[in-house]
A = this chain, B = another copy of it.
Amino acid sequence: MARGEGLDGNALRTQRTVERILGESLRLFNEHGEAHVTTGMIAAALEMSPGNLYYHFRNKDQIVEHLFRRFAARVDLDPPAVADAGSAIENLWLYLHLMLETIWEFRFLYRNLDDLLARNRRLRDPFNRILDRKRDVVIALCEGLARAGALHASAEEIRVLASNVLVVATYWLNFQALRGRRDAVSAEDLGQGAYQVMALVSPYLQGDARRHLDGLGRQYVA
């Protein structure tokens, strides 16, 4: 039994070390950009020998892939299906908040998306599958609202709208950074992002659904 306990203790210590490496890597990647961080810097920040770090992760790409899988698991959720349009709007609103919070938490992935994905096909293909599914979610949601009489748009308009939803959701935080506003990002900024995305859908909404959205958005009007 003592031996079993010892193994468990080792496994726990290993897991704890892995978590510390991933947490510190994420912090450094987000702060400096992934390209400007080396495994040496990560080890130094953790007061860990490079050898100990390499024992857990062969190289920086492996750390990035690990963090990407966590990001993917967090972001790759469907919004819950609901019966009425009002709840659908409310759910979409919360869902967008969750998406933008996750993008914010893993913002290093978005900072140099082109370079990162061009360099690493193990990220590029899964990232595109996530975007494919997000597009399908947006289309299904709009079609559901259209069937409920809460949204008025053609199939073509919904398809084009879904692309714009993806572009704005993907790049909103980058755009805020560009405009010099990201370092001070707060819950309100994420809310503003969700509002910007909802505003893409808003002009197609009818009646109660639109009024419901206008009510949610009012708090973000400066």
Verify B117–A178 contact, CB threshold 8 A: yes
A189-207 interface code vs B (CB 8 A; 1 in, 0 out): 0000001100110111000
A133–chain B nearest beta-carbon distance, Å: 13
Q: Which residues of B contact A157 (CB under 8 A)?
A: 199, 202-203
Verify A195–B160 contact, CB threshold 8 A: yes
Q: Which residues of B contact A170 (CB under 8 A)?
A: 171, 175, 178
Also in contact, A196 and B163, with CB within 8 A (given A156-B221, A174-B171): yes
Verify A131–B174 contact, CB threshold 8 A: no
Stretch at the interface among A51-59, A63-71, A85-93, A108-116: A108-116
A56–chain B nearest beta-carbon distance, Å: 28
Verify A200–B131 contact, CB threshold 8 A: no
Q: Which residues of B contact A163 (CB under 8 A)?
A: 196
Q: How far is the CA of A124 from the CA of B35 in the complex (A)?
A: 20
Verify B179–A175 contact, CB threshold 8 A: no
A164 close to B (CB within 8 Å): yes
A148 close to B (CB within 8 Å): no
A29 close to B (CB within 8 Å): no
Interface size class of A (residues with CB under 8 A): 35 or more
A139–chain B nearest beta-carbon distance, Å: 14
A166 close to B (CB within 8 Å): yes
Q: Which residue on B lies nearest to A117, using beta carbons?
A: B178
Verify B164–A168 contact, CB threshold 8 A: yes
Q: Which residues of B contact A33 (CB under 8 A)?
A: 114-115
Verify B221–A128 contact, CB threshold 8 A: no
A146 close to B (CB within 8 Å): no
Q: Which of B128, B153, B199 contacts A179 (CB under 8 A)?
A: B128
A215 close to B (CB within 8 Å): no
Verify B111–A177 contact, CB threshold 8 A: no
Q: How far is the CA of A115 from the CA of B32 in the complex (A)?
A: 10
Chain A residues in the interface with B (C-beta under 8 A): 33, 35, 111-115, 117, 124, 127-128, 131, 153, 156-157, 160-161, 163-164, 166-168, 170-172, 174-175, 177-180, 195-196, 199-200, 202-204, 221
